[in-house]
Amino acid sequence: MKTQTRLDGILYPKIKPHRTGELLVGDGQRVYWEESGNPDGKPVVFLHGGPGAGTSPWHRRFFDPERYRIILMDQRGCGRSTPHVSEPDADLRHNTTWHLVADLELLRKNLGIETWQVFGGSWGSALALAYAETHPESVSELVLRGVFTLRRHELEWFYEGGAAAVFPDLWEKFLEPVPVSERSHMIDAYHRLLFDPDPAVHVPAAVAWTTWEASTLTLHPDPKLVASMLGDARATAFARIENHFFVNKGWFEDDQLITGVDAIRGIPTVIVQGRYDMCTPMMTAWDLHRALPEAEFVVVDDAGHSASEPGIAAALRRATDRFAAS
């Protein structure tokens, strides 16, 4: 069952963008953006995960098209933004969290938006927090899902063996491309493989990296979701950008996004977290909740990580519906 069909009856109907564009952000980068819904509605920007995953048409459906001006953006190097990181001459030197924060602020200004709701899940929640803590005056509300802040123990849980306790069969497949001598530092080992110029090296590594993540996104296995992420170009961009960000810890101090919440205390916030999220376990959402107790904290007890899981999708829609009138 396709994601869009599964969510019929939970999210809003399918819509198409009425305006698209490419934002020239410097460094030879063009960032794709699109606008759908009501041009005079409440502005909201959707921040996709990964980093490197790109946006999909169903992401528009979290928002009431009669009340929201819906902005989707593919972050640098992925989706419909160019140059795509799967290309041989792609350069990631100018692809960091702080470049993406600056891109968002430039897009907001170029679209003539005074303030907008920022909606982000997984890596998108980290980017949303980084953006809001840097530009709180630009943010009307925050909707965060599957909270991820790139702290060392978060990365070690998922990429250095913690989650293997739950998924030993899938972990063995993740280990396969990596020489035994390098398996004590998996993120570093994959960095070498993913950035090898030989496609015979970097493509299988990218597919293995992406398969590991895609296979653990949902509470129940979803082979079609996994397959949708595994085209060579898409998997290469996804894995390379993720690994690049993770090797550099997101360019954050270890607790930066949690300790920096004083900057956003005045911003109405909803946090939605799947109880059985294996990619970004609930410990991080809980830490954010404790630091920001005024935010609404919603735990979905029958869900993992993905926004496509019914309980998470329903909670996210409730949040955007509530904020639509404010």
182's tokens: 């390098």
State what percent of residues in the chain have pLDDT above 90.
90
User: What's the pLDDT at 111?
Assistant: 98
Same domain, 234 and 286: no
**Sign of the alpha-carbon torsion through 156, 158, 164, 169:** negative
How far apart are the C-alpha atoms of 314 and 308, rounded to whole Å? Answer: 9
pTM of the model: 0.96
Same domain, 235 and 312: no
Instruction: State the CATH number of the domain containing residue 316.
Output: 3.40.50.1820
Same domain, 117 and 193: no
Same domain, 308 and 184: no
pLDDT tens, residue by residue, 63-95 = 999 999 999 999 999 999 999 998 877 789 999
Same domain, 51 and 163: no
CB-CB contact of 75 with 48 (8 Å): yes
Same domain, 289 and 140: yes
Which of the residues 122, 125, 138, 308 is marked catalytic?
Answer: 122
13's tokens: 């109907």
DSSP classification of residue 62: G
User: What's the pLDDT at 5?
Assistant: 64
Which of the residues 277, 289, 306, 308 is marked catalytic?
Answer: 277
pLDDT tens, residue by residue, 264-293 = 999 999 999 999 999 999 999 999 999 999
Domain ends where: 229, 249, 269? 249
Same domain, 256 and 229: no
Same domain, 320 and 237: no
Q: Can you give the residue range of the structural domain that contains 206? A: 153-249
Residue for token pair 């009669």: 66
Ranges in the chain, pLDDT < 50: 1
**94 among known catalytic residues:** no
**305 among known catalytic residues:** yes
How far apart are the C-alpha atoms of 19 and 39, rounded to whole Å? Answer: 10
CB-CB contact of 71 with 111 (8 Å): yes
Domain ends where: 209, 224, 249? 249
- Sequence-separated contacts (24+) of 101-104 with Cβ below 8 Å: 101/127, 101/130, 101/131, 101/134, 101/135, 102/25, 103/23, 103/25, 103/31, 103/73, 103/75, 103/76, 104/45, 104/47, 104/73, 104/131
Same domain, 277 and 222: no
How far apart are the C-alpha atoms of 188 and 167, rounded to whole Å? Answer: 21
Domain ends where: 194, 220, 249? 249
How far apart are the C-alpha atoms of 274 and 300, rounded to whole Å? Answer: 5
Give the start-end residues of each E strand in the chain: 19-26, 29-37, 42-47, 68-73, 116-121, 139-145, 269-274, 296-300
Same domain, 259 and 294: yes
Q: How many CA atoms lie within 13 A of 310 on its CB side?
A: 9
Residues ≥6 apart with Cβ < 8 Å to 293: none
If one counts the domains in the chain, the total is 2
Nearest to 187 by CA among 122, 239, 254: 239
Same domain, 170 and 238: yes
Q: What does R_g of the chain's alpha carbons equal in angstroms?
A: 18
User: What's the pLDDT at 1?
Assistant: 43
Give me the helices (H) in 96-231, please: 97-110, 123-134, 152-159, 168-175, 186-194, 199-215, 223-228
**153 among known catalytic residues:** no
Which of the residues 81, 138, 305, 308 is marked catalytic?
Answer: 305
Same domain, 126 and 158: no
